[in-house]
Amino acid sequence: METISISKLKTHLSAEIKKVRRGTHITILDHKHPVAQLIPTEKEGDLFLREASRQYVYQQLA
């Protein structure tokens, strides 16, 4: 996992997004404190299955 300041991220956003596409997780720092993470998204099908599973669980709990 890498870290980057907000100001550097603004300057190098395209390059950092390329890293994330290759699987790198990047923590964004604001004055040396972690505030967010850039992580690769899942495949579209995986997201659909996860949402369907979540809806099923909510229905079972209702």
Residue range 21-54, pLDDT digits in tens: 899 999 999 999 999 999 988 766 665 666 666 6
Q: Could you say which of 3.40.1620, 2.20.28, 3.40.1000, 1.10.3210 is the CATH number of the domain covering 2-61?
A: 3.40.1620
Separation in Å, CA 51 to CA 42, 55, 57: 12, 6, 10
Sorted by where each begins, the domain ranges of the chain are 2-61
For residues 8 and 45, the model is more confident at 8
* 5 band by pLDDT with thresholds 50, 70 and 90: very high
